Structure 1
C-alpha cells in the first residue's frame, strides 16, 4: 500500500470511530424515547375511562403520523448504508466509483427533504398536543454525514494521489535538461534535433504574413496611392494576379516575400533569435524548459504539502489501537436494544463536537476545490499561491454559510441551518471536484508538462534515422556484393559453434561421466596393461638361460641348490649380478667374448633391463595419473565451460536481460532517492513552528513515494514492511527536521545490506 493509502486508512478509521458513535447515540436515544412514550401511554390507562379513551386515541393518532414519517425516512437508510460501506474498507477507490456513489446519494436529496418536512409538521402537532417526540431524522443526518465524511476522505486520497503521480515523473525531465545543459556535445545535439522545428516555425510565420498582406492587397494599394508610394510597393501584390508571364509572377512573389520579411514586426523573443546563435538559443530554451518544470514541480509539491497539513486535521490515533465500531442501532430497533460502548479513544476528544468535525470536513472540501483551481497557475510564486488558497478558502466558507442561510430562509422555518443541507452542500462540492476540477487540473498539468518536457522521440531520433536512410544504399550495396562471403562466414560460424559444442563440451562431459563411473574406455593410460609383466618374464628367462648355458663359468651361484630361484628373485628386484660378472670378464678379453657371443648376450640382457626400468617408471607415472583421473577430467572441461559462460554473460549483458544488472540499477536509484530526501531536509527552511514548509513537505512526500516504489522491487517482503514503517516515521513532520534526519540515517545503515551490496 502507498503512503497516501496509509494516511487514508488512518483517516477512515478515525471517521468510523467518530461517526458510528453518533449513529449509536442517535439510535439509542430514539429507542429510549419511544419506550418513555409507551410507558406514558400505559400510565394514562389507569385514569378515568373517558380520559383514557381520549388519550389513547390521541396517542395512536400521533403514533400513526410519526410512524408514516419514520417509514418515509427509513426508505432512504439502506442506500445510505450501502454507500457508506462501499466508501469504507481502508483502501482508496477510483474517482469514478466515488463519483458514482455520490451521485446516487445526491439523488436521494428530494426524498429526504420531503420526509423531513412532513416529519417536522408532525412534530409541531405533537408538541401542541403535549406529545413531543425526538425526531428520527437525526439518524438520517448521521448517515448522510457518514457518507459525506468517507467520500471526502476518498476524494482527498484521489487528489493527493493524482498530484503525487504528476510530480514524480517531472524529476526525469529536469534530469534530462540538466544533462543537455551540462555538456556542450548534448547542447549541440539538441540544437541539431530542434533545427527543423525552428525553421518550420519561422517559415509558417512568414507564410501567415504573406497571406495577411495578400488579403489586404487592395486596401494597401489604395492607401499607398493616396500617400504617394512607389510603383514597386504598389506592384508587390498586384503582380500575382494579373495576366503577366510566369517569370513576372515569380518576381512579384519574391518581392512580396522580401517585403513581408522586412515589414514584419520584431518582438523581443524574435529579436533574441536574431541576435543569439542557434547554439545559444537552444540552451536558452533548455533553461526555460527546466525552469518551467521546476516551477511546476514546486507548485504541485506545495499543493501536496498544503493539503496534507491543512486538510482533514483530525487527531488521528495510532493505527495499532484497537478499533471496535459500535453496532448501528436503527430507529426501528426494539426496546431491548442496548447501547454499544463508546469506541472513541481519548485522542479523538478534540473533534467530538459534531459542529467541529463537520465544519472541518466542509473546510477540507473547499480547500481541495481551491487548490485544484490555483495549483497550475505558474505566474505566481509559492507565497502568492498559499495566500490565494487561504483567502479563497475563507471566502468559500463564508459563501457556503450564506448559501445555507439562504436555503433556510427560503424554507421559512426560522431555525438554524440544517445539517442535512450542509451535508448535501458538501456532497455537491465533492461531485464538482471529482467531475470538473480534478479532470481539468489533470489536463492542465499534462499540457504544462508536455510544453516543458523533453522533445518527442521523432525530434530526438530523426538525425539517426536520416543518417541510416542516407547510408542504406551503401549498406545494401555492400551486402549484395559480398553476399557469398557473408553466407560463407555464417556457415563457418555455425560449423565452429557446432564443433565446439560437440568436441569441447559434449565429449569432455561424456568422459567425465565415464571417469566417475570407472568406465574402462575413459581411463587414462601411458602404457598397455600387461606390457610390464611380459617384459619382466622375458628378462627372467634371459638371465636364467644365460646362467644355465654357462655352467663352467663361476657366476657365484654354482654351489647353491636353489640357484635358479634366487636368480629369478634377484631379477624381480633388479639384481643382474651373474650377468654383470660375465660381462666384466668378457670386457677383459673383449675379442674372445665377442667371438663366443657372451659379450653381445650380456649387452642385450642389459638393454632389456633398461627397457624394464623405463616401463616401471612409466607404470608409476600411470598410477599417479589414474589416481588424479577425475581432476584431469575437470581440467579438460574447464576451458570450454569458461568460454561458454563468458559468451552467455556477454549475450545477456548485450540484450539487457541480466537480472544482476537490473538489480544494480534499482539499487542505484534507491541511493539517488535517499540522497534527494537528505538534500530536501538539509536545504529546507523550517517554518516558525520548526517543521517543514508546505513545498518541502510536498517534495518529501513525493520523493518518499518514489523511494517506496523502488524499494518494493528490491527488498524482501518482511524487510519491505519494516521499511514502509520507517517511511511513515520519515513523513511525520511534527517530530521536527532533526528527527527526520535521524530516520534517514537509520534507513541507510539498517537496509545497507540490500541497498549498497
Structure 2
C-alpha cells in the first residue's frame, strides 16, 4: 500500500513533469538517436528515476547516476539545459523522499524503546528483572575499567585498593548514566562526567521505604525514557520541516532552469539542516529546537551555492547521500546503544539459562522414565483409536443403517409366531366346547369371535365347576385340560404384550440410535470447539495485545490535535505565510512532525491485523485519513472517534 511519503513524492514529480512539459511548449522528444550522448543519458536517467511505484529510488541508484553524470560527462559535453535540470530535479526529489522516508521509519525503533521503558518504569517486578538482566554487563564493565585504570598507573596494588575502596568509582562504573550529563542527545561524544550523587537516591529510598538499588534503577529507566522522548521530539521537528518545506518545481517562479536550480539549492540546505545534530543554545545547555523560523534564519546565514551550474548542484547532492550514513543514521545508532532497548543477549540470557537447566532436567527425567512414557503414549493412542472407532464411527454407521432400514434386529416377536399362538388357542377352546359342552355351529362361531376378542368366560365357568373337586377331576374330569388351555391363554397374552412393546421399540428405533451416538458426538464436538476456540483465542488475544499500544497512540494523537486546535489559526508560521497560502491551517513544525510519527507508528501496528474480512485494509483507510494534511484537526478528531466506535480491539 502506498505510504504518505510516496504520495507526497508523487505530487512533487507530477508538478515537475507539468512544469517541464510547459517549458517545452508542446514539443516532444521523439527519437533518442537525434540527441547527443549526454542528452540521451540524462533523458534515460530521468525516465529510470520512476516514482509511480510503491518504492522510491534508493540512495545507491541515485548516487550511481550522479557519479556517472559527474565522472563520465564533464563540462565540455554540452547538453540541453532543460534535460540537465530535469535530471537534477528528479535526483533532488528522490533524495528528499528517501530522507523523509528514512527519518520517518527511524522513529519506529525510538517509539518502541519508549514503550519498552514505559512498561518497566513504576513496576517493581519489572525493575528487579531488568536489574538482574543487566547485572553481568555492569560487573563486566566495572572489572574492565578497573583493570584499565590499574594498567595506566605505576603503583598498581595501591591504586587497586583505592579503586575498590572508593564507593564513587564503583557506583559510577555500575551506573554511568547517573554520573554523565550530555550536552546533546544526538551528540554522544560531548559527555561531561560528575561525581555520583548517592545522597539523592538514599533520600528517596528512605522516603519510599524501598531498597536503594531499586531507586537507582528506577531513576535510570526514567532518564533513558526522557532522553528518548527528547530525541523523538527532535525527529518530529525534522519531519515537520521536511513536510512543510518540500521543493516545489513550478514554472511560476521563473524559467525552468533557474526555478529548478533555486529549489534544488534550497532543498539541499534544508536536508543538511535536518541532518545536523541540535546544538546547545546558550549557557543553560538547552537544545536548540528545530523549526521553520530557525530554518529561515539558517538558510539566510548558510553559505549559498553561488554557482548555478548543474555540476556544483550534483556535487552537493552526492555529498548529502554520502554523509547520510555517517551523519543522521550514525547519531541514531549512538542514541539507541546508549538509551535504547538492551540487546537480545541481555534480555534473554535469564530465560536461556532457566530453559537450559529445565530442559536438561526434562531430558534426563524422560530417559529415566522412557518405558513408562512410551507405554502412556501407546495407551493414549489406543484409547483415542478405540473411542473414534467404537463410540463415533460405529454409532454413526448404525444411525445410517437405521435410516435406510438395513438393520431389522430390533424385534422381540414375529407376526407369524403371534398368529400361530392365537390359532392354537382358538382351536383348543373350540374343541373343548364342542366335546364337553356340545354347542351348536352358531354358538361355536360366536365363541370363536369371543375368543379373538379375549373373552374366555365359557372356559372359566367349566374351570370353576371342575375345581370344586380337584383331585377327582384331575383324574377323571376336565380340570387338567382347562388349566392347560389357560396356560395357552397366558402365553397369548404375553405375546400380545410383547408385540405392543415391539411396535413401540420400532417406532422409536431412530431415537434410540441418536441417543446412543449423542454422548460421543457431544464429546467430539466439545473437543473440536475447544481446539478451535483456542486457536481463535490466540488470534484474538494477539489483536487485543496490539490494540493496547494502538489505543495509547490514538490517545496521544487526539491529545496533540486538541491542544493545538485553538492555536492553528493564530500562530501561523512566517515561513508558511511567505511561501504557501494553502498551509495556513497547518500546525507548527514539531506538532505536525509528532502527528506524522504517531500515525506512522499506528501504521506499523496495523501490519499485525488479520487480512480476513478486509480488517487491515479498512483500518488503513482510517489511518490514511489521520495522516491526510488536507483534513482539519476537528475532522481528524472525528476520525479517531469513529475508530473507537467501530473497532472493538481499540
How many Å apart are 1:295 and its aligned residue?
1.8
1:160 aligns with 2:111: no
Q: Using the alignment, how far apart are the partners of 2:94 and 2:290 within structure 1?
A: 28
Q: Does 1:296 align with 2:296?
A: no
- Aligned mates of 2:426, 2:544 — CA distance in 1: 78
| Aligned 8 A contact 2:291 2:589 in 1 | no
Structure-2 change in CA distance of 1:631 and 1:387 (3 Å)? same
Secondary structure at the counterpart of residue 114 of structure 1: coil
1 CA distance for matches of 2:439 and 2:59?
119
Asked if 1:677 corresponds to 2:560, the answer is no
Structure 1: distance between partners of 2:221 and 2:440? 112
Are residue 393 (structure 1) and residue 299 (structure 2) matched? Answer: yes
Could you say which residue in structure 2 is the equivalent of 1:363? 266
Counterparts of 2:287 and 2:83 in 1: how far apart (Å)?
42
Q: For residue 285 of structure 1, report the CA deviation from its aligned partner.
A: 1.6
1:435 paired to 2:322? yes
TM-score of the two chains, using structure 1 as the length reference: 0.68
- 1:88 aligns with 50
C-alpha contact 1:674 1:744 (8 A) present in aligned 2: yes
In structure 1, what is the equivalent of residue 590 of structure 2? 695
Output the CA distance in 1 between the equivalents of 2:366 and 2:405: 52
Q: Is the 8 A contact 1:544 1:564 kept in 2?
A: no
| 2:384 corresponding residue in structure 1 | 497
Q: Which residue does the alignment assign to 1:119?
A: none
Structure 2 counterparts to residues 280-679 of structure 1, below 5 A: 280-313=215-248, 350-351=252-253, 353-354=255-256, 355-356=258-259, 358-374=261-277, 381=287, 383=289, 389-396=295-302, 398-401=303-306, 404=307, 419=308, 421=309, 423-438=310-325, 440-469=327-356, 475=362, 478-515=365-402, 518=404, 520-521=406-407, 526-528=410-412, 531-551=414-434, 559-560=442-443, 562-563=445-446, 566=449, 571=452, 575-577=453-455, 579-583=456-460, 586-587=463-464, 590-592=467-469, 595=474, 596-628=479-511, 631-632=514-515, 635=518, 637-646=520-529, 648-649=531-532, 652=535, 662=542, 673-679=553-559
Distance 2:546 2:552 in 1: 10
Question: Could you tell me how far 1:634 is from its partner in structure 2?
Answer: 5.7
Does the C-alpha gap of structure 1 residues 446 and 510 become closer, same or farther in structure 2, counting only changes over 3 Å?
Answer: farther
Residue number among 708, 720, 737 corresponding to 2:633 in the alignment: 737
If the length of structure 2 is used for normalisation, what is the TM-score? 0.78
In structure 2, C-alpha distance between the alignment counterparts of 1:382 and 1:556, rounded to whole Å: 136
Deviations 1:687-739 (A, max 9, x none): 41353232232232233334345546546798877765654443344543123
Aligned to 1:250: none
Q: What is the rounded CA distance, in whole Å, between the counterparts of 2:144 and 2:503 in structure 1? A: 94
Q: By how many angstroms is 1:671 displaced?
A: 5.0
Work out which of the residue numbers 67, 84, 107 in structure 2 matches 1:144: 84
Secondary structure class of the residue paired with 2:276: helix
- Structure 1 residue 387 displacement after superposition: 5.9
Cα shift at 1:154: 1.2
The answer to whether the 8 Å contact 2:557/2:595 transfers is yes
Per-residue CA deviation, residues 151-189 of structure 1 (Å, 9 max, x unaligned), is 111111111111111112322222221111132111111
Q: Deviations over 1:498-536 (max 9, x none)?
A: 3233333333444455455x2624x6x5424x5344124
Higher Rg of the two aligned structures: 1
Evaluate the alpha carbon distance shift between residue 677 and residue 490 of structure 1 in structure 2; reply closer, same or farther with a 3 A threshold.
Answer: same
Q: Distance in 2 between matches of 1:283 and 1:602?
A: 105
Equivalences for residues 80-229 of structure 1 within 5 A: 80-91=42-53, 92-107=56-71, 110=74, 113-115=75-77, 140-213=80-153, 216-217=154-155
How much is the aligned-residue C-alpha RMSD, in angstroms? 3.9
**Offset from partner CA, 1:184-225 (integer Å, 9 cap, x none):** 111111122222222222222322232233xx23xxxxxxxx
Distance 2:353 2:77 in 1: 74
Contact 2:85/2:260 (<8 A) preserved: no
What residue number does 1:77 align with?
Answer: 39
Indicate the SS of the match to 2:508: helix
| Contiguous gaps of at least 5 residues in structure 2 | 173-177, 180-194, 203-211, 573-584
CA contact (8 A) 1:301 1:702 kept: yes
Task: Report the Cα distance in structure 2 between the residues aligned to 1:624 and 1:377, rounded to whole angstroms.
Answer: 96
